[in-house]
A = this chain, B = another copy of it.
Amino acid sequence: MILTVTLNAALDITYHVPRLQPHTTHRVGEVVERPGGKGLNVARVLAALGHDTVATGLVGGRTGEALRAHLAAAAPGVVDALVPVGGETRRTIAVVDGESGDATMFNEPGPTVSAQEWAHFQDAYRELLIDAHVVALCGSLPPGLPVGSYAELVRTARSAGVHVLLDTSGEPLRRGIAARPDVIKPNAEELARLTGLTEPLRAAHEARRRGAYAVVASNGPQGLLAVTDEGTWRAAPPARFEGNPTGAGDAAVAGLLSALVEGLPWPERLARAAALSAATVLAPAAGEFDGAAYERLLPQIDTLP
């Protein structure tokens, strides 16, 4: 099975308002809630592709309960192995302006996790790794967790012989890379911040030098760049798509993992990731992917060395 880890899961709430006007009162017409956090998004896409998928991470409080109920309803194929904590799972509020279609985001910080809760999670994680072929470690860290937490989880996975993909940013990414993950999937901006190099190919080589076995960098509509010990490839969709990029990066992670467990070579992994990513931008609901668009786009992805 494929394991995804979401340490700072969220309940994503979307408010639709006619027009956002600071310092006024808005009556919200429609309230939409969905399970959020990058690892949960990855798990939903994997389950939709038909993979055995287990989602772990940390959840707590009433918001955590709401998140689990939404996850069970929206992604019944995902096995919920989330670990409870005493704090309250964070909410993210996206206020979507009917005039411009733009979103204004308010992200709560998330629960403060104690050392004991972290030790308890690591026990659960070790158990789950026994049946895992691959694990994806995704998103930000909640308050209270040491910045080296992902590095610990990378080391545990590698000791257990489980292939590990790390998708985070900032200092947790920097520390995580030093623990030698099999794949990292930064976007071009995160990669530049990590390495100080703005040219993606040079930056990817630098990230490999620092410990990542493979680097898959996403660069919005320009597609994906993979720098691996087997070679370098670029995968780009046939056209630029208009749509909502929310979750496109998570769909790419799901594509990489899905193709990996099927034993496909790098160019096909990358093509699947790029097609799923584009099919997510095209889907009407944020974070979903359009299955028909995925099937249509997959053979159209140009994967070049």
Per the bound structure, the CA–CA distance linking A26 and B91 in Å amounts to 12
Q: Is A104 an interface residue (CB 8 A)?
A: yes
Number of copies: 2
Per the bound structure, the CA–CA distance linking A63 and B28 in Å amounts to: 16
**Which B-chain residue is minimally distant from A100 (CB atoms)?**
B23
How far in angstroms is the closest Cβ of chain B from A120? Answer: 24
Query: Within 8 Å of chain B (Cβ to Cβ): is A211?
Result: no
Given the known inter-chain contacts A62-B62, A62-B66, A93-B93, please indicate yes or no for A108 contacting B20, CB distance below 8 A: no
Q: Does A31 contact B (CB under 8 A)?
A: yes
A245 interface residue (CB < 8 Å to B): no
CB-based contact A27/B109 at 8 Å: yes
Q: How far is the CB of A157 from chain B (nearest CB, A)?
A: 29
Q: Which residues of B contact A108 (CB under 8 A)?
A: 15, 28, 31
* B66 & A23 in contact (Cβ 8 Å cutoff): no
Interface size on A, residues (CB 8 A): 29
Cβ of A17 within 8 Å of any chain B Cβ, yes or no, is: yes
In the assembled complex, A95 has its CB within 8 A of some CB on chain B: yes
Q: Which of B20, B29, B93, B105 contacts A109 (CB 8 A)?
A: B29
Residues in B neighbouring A21, C-beta threshold 8 A: 104
Tell me the complex Cα distance, A214–B76, Å. 58
**Is A24 an interface residue when CB atoms closer than 8 A count as contact?**
yes
User: Complex Cα distance A147/B231, Å?
Assistant: 69
User: Does A171 reach chain B (CB closer than 8 Å)?
Assistant: no
Looking at the assembled complex, report how far the CB atom of A67 sits from the nearest CB atom of chain B, in whole angstroms.
Answer: 10
A222 interfacial contact with B, CB 8 Å: no
Specify which of B93, B97, B105 is in contact with A24 (CB 8 Å cutoff).
B105
| A63 contacts across to B, CB distance below 8 A | 62
- Name the residue on B nearest A21 (C-beta): B104
Closest residue of chain B to A140 (Cβ to Cβ) is B27
The verdict on A25 contacting chain B, using a C-beta distance below 8 Å, is yes
CB distance from A64 to the nearest CB of B (A): 10
Task: Please name the 5 residue pairs, one residue from A and one from B, whose CB atoms are nearest each other, closest first.
Answer: A25-B105, A23-B102, A62-B62, A26-B106, A28-B108
